[in-house]
């Protein structure tokens, strides 16, 4: 009797940890999704509790093994994906001095702007591939040094969330080159910590994790945790890579010219190159995936989190009704939006509810509706919000096109890919066919495939082609993309015009904070 073999992909996300059990053909056998709060006590804060994420990870691993009825001998390995740009300060007893400061935290905005205004910022970008923005741990460290020097003085290690979890499981601080690349402290040309960035942030090498490749294996988990999970402590844990790069792998967008568009809580547009390609204008990131594979693209803050805001703030009664009827509230909203024609009868929405990274790289950016008339309804507003998210991604695509050439194909994934309206909207606005892979959890699958490669269970990463099926392809609707051609230039011009006032309104909001601004976001 042949023993079935399995691989687990763990995706440490912004608002939840997803754990997926795959067979070696890339088919999902069982999954678990455990949410945790995103703490936003002030408008610029975006933190998580590292202990809550650790618990979500242990719970998820335990759940999928139980649901999949997997014996310890059948599990070949566990491989990790993680959200980029997280930062935790650890003390001499290896206890956190801070919560997880996430990519969405904008408190370092002032220091990012100062760095942008001199040649040092561009020099660091060219060495690290990380745009100058408060998302970057390097910029966060400038803020912490200036405003929280007492915490920095107590810090013995600066780590990310995956480093923290693996330390608790294995007792070692290690970081893969992919996530290290995203810290802004890593030189993409030397594949080592960047001396200039370390000097600027006053960080010693000994305070950072040991650098390893994305296929590196850890073994010898602490027995207390192995017993809880129900796993052999010598099961290999493959360190894996960042969620963005692994999403490209997980949707089979690893060949030149194949564009991956992802919208989850946040979003991104990315393409793979065989060597690091740096945008001379500093607008796009360059992140390592694996040997001879680099991902060039732009991340956006405002994806599904905007849709959640629309649901919670504009459609609270419908949300309550959906919960009572046990139907998906997001599906209800997309059904409402689908009744409105493309272009929302001239209502435009800029989705910058949490500042923005690509394409404008402005932490002070704020959201707005433009073109409102008495004829517009809440249905128009939800349609405009969904379109605004895609307009923003389209701007990122134009930047990538200028660096790597026109995309030949688009693979779309993320929570939004469940929506037929959004998939068609993407095809119409981008004026290209959009392919939807079978797996919505692309980062978890990408992690599993990278783990299989590390363990020699597949010939190379191209084996993902046989694992990622296409459930459907959406073709552009000519009537719709003609409307979008008219509106997109207006939307883009408005983005530039509004940019002159973003700092002013953001300063006002900081000076007059809402005492009830705490938000606990759930996935």
pLDDT digits (tens, 9 = 90+) for 477-519: 999 999 999 999 999 999 999 999 999 999 999 899 877 765 4
**Helix (H), strand (E), coil (C) string for 247-297:** HHHHCCCCCCCEEEEEECCCEEEEEEECCCCCCCCCCCEEEEEECCEEEEE
326 part of a folded domain: no
pLDDT at 522: 37
Q: Say whether pLDDT at 523 is over 60.
A: no
Q: What is the CATH number of the domain that holds 163?
A: 3.30.420.40
511 part of a folded domain: no
147 part of a folded domain: yes
The arithmetic mean of pLDDT across residues 325-354, rounded, is 96
CB atoms within 10 A of CB 135: 31
Give the CA distances from residue 483 to residues 370, 383, 486, 491, 507, in Å, rounded to whole numbers and listed in that order: 17, 14, 5, 12, 36
Q: In this structure, what DSSP letter does residue 392 have? A: H
pLDDT at 416: 84
86 part of a folded domain: yes
Q: For the chain, what is the mean pLDDT?
A: 94
Q: In this structure, what DSSP letter does residue 439 have? A: -
Q: For residue 315, report the phi and psi dihedrals to the nearest 5 degrees.
A: -130, 40
Question: What is the torsional sign of CA 15, 61, 8, 53?
Answer: positive
185 part of a folded domain: yes
The larger pLDDT score, comparing residue 413 to residue 80, is at: 80
- State the alpha helices, DSSP H only, in 137-284: 137-147, 149-153, 161-170, 177-181, 195-201, 223-229, 243-250
pLDDT at 2: 55
The arithmetic mean of pLDDT across residues 101-126, rounded, is 93
The arithmetic mean of pLDDT across residues 449-477, rounded, is 93
Strands 157-159 and 75-82 turn out to be: unpaired
| Helices and strands in the chain: count of H runs, count of E runs | 17, 23
pLDDT at 519: 45
pLDDT, tens digit (0-9, with 9 covering 90-100), for 182-208: 999 999 999 999 999 999 999 999 999
The arithmetic mean of pLDDT across residues 206-220, rounded, is 98
pLDDT at 266: 85
Burial string for 364-402 (b: 16+ CB within 10 Å, else e) reads bbbbbbbbeeeebeebbbbbbbbbbbbbbbbbbbebbee
229 part of a folded domain: yes
Strands 470-474 and 434-437 turn out to be: antiparallel
Among 128-137, 262-271, 492-501, the minimum mean pLDDT is found in: 262-271
Residue with tokens 């912490």, as numbered in its chain: 144
71 part of a folded domain: yes
**Whether 423 contacts 276, CB under 8 Å:** no
56 part of a folded domain: yes
pLDDT at 514: 79
- By percentage, how much of the chain surpasses pLDDT 70? 98
* Residue-number span of the structural domain to which 35 is assigned: 6-245
Q: Say whether pLDDT at 221 is over 80.
A: yes
CB atoms within 10 A of CB 319: 18
Number of separate domains in the chain: 1
The arithmetic mean of pLDDT across residues 228-244, rounded, is 97
**Whether 241 contacts 191, CB under 8 Å:** no
* Encoded tokens for 369: 């509706």
């Amino acid at each position: 009797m042949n023993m079935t073999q399995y691989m687990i992909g763990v995706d440490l996300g912004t608002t939840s940890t997803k754990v997926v059990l795959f067979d070696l053909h890339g088919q999902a056998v069982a999954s678990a999704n455990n949410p945790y709060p995103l703490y936003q006590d002030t408008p610029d804060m975006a933190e998580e509790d590292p202990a809550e994420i650790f618990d979500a990870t242990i719970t998820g691993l335990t759940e999928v093994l139980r649901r999949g009825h997997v014996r310890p001998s059948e599990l070949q390995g566990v491989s990790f994906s993680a959200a980029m740009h997280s930062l935790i300060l650890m003390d001499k007893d290896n206890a956190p001095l801070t919560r997880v400061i996430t990519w969405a935290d904008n408190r370092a905005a002032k220091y990012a702007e100062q760095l942008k205004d001199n040649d040092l910022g561009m020099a660091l970008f060219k060495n690290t591939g990380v745009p100058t923005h408060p998302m970057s741990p390097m910029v966060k460290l400038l803020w912490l040094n200036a405003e929280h020097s007492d915490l920095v003085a107590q810090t013995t290690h600066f780590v990310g969330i995956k480093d923290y979890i693996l330390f608790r499981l294995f007792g070692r601080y290690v970081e893969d080159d992919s996530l290290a690349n995203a810290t802004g402290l890593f030189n993409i040309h030397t594949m080592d910590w960047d001396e200039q960035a370390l000097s600027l942030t006053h960080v010693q090498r000994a305070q950072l994790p040991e650098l390893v490749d994305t296929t590196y294996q850890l073994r010898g988990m602490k027995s207390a945790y192995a017993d809880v999970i129900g796993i052999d402590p010598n099961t290999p844990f493959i360190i894996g890579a960042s969620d963005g790069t692994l999403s490209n792998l997980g949707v089979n967008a690893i060949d030149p010219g194949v564009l991956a568009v992802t919208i989850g809580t946040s979003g991104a547009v990315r393409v793979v190159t065989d060597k690091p390609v740096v945008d001379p204008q500093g607008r796009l990131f360059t992140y390592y995936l694996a040997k001879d594979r680099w991902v060039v693209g732009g991340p956006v803050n405002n994806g599904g989190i905007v849709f959640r805001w629309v649901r919670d703030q504009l459609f609270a009664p419908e949300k309550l009704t959906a919960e009572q009827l046990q139907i998906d509230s997001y599906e209800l909203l997309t059904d409402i939006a689908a009744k409105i024609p493309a272009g929302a009868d001239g209502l435009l929405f800029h989705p910058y509810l949490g500042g923005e990274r690509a394409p404008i790289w402005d932490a002070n950016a704020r959201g707005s509706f433009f073109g409102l008339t008495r004829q517009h309804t809440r249905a128009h507003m939800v349609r405009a919000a969904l379109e605004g998210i895609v307009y923003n991604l389209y701007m990122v695509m134009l930047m990538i096109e200028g660096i790597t050439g026109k995309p030949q194909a688009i693979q779309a994934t993320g929570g939004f890919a469940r929506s037929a309206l959004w998939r068609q909207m993407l095809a119409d606005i981008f004026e290209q066919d959009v392919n939807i892979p079978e797996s919505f959890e692309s980062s978890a699958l990408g992690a599993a495939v990278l783990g299989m490669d590390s363990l020699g269970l597949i010939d190379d990463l191209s084996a993902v082609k046989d694992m990622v099926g296409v459930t459907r392809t959406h073709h552009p609707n000519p009537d719709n993309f003609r409307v979008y051609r008219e509106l997109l230039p207006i939307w883009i011009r408005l983005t530039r015009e509004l940019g002159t006032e973003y700092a002013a309104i953001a300063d006002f909001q900081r000076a007059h904070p809402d005492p009830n601004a705490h938000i606990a976001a759930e996935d």
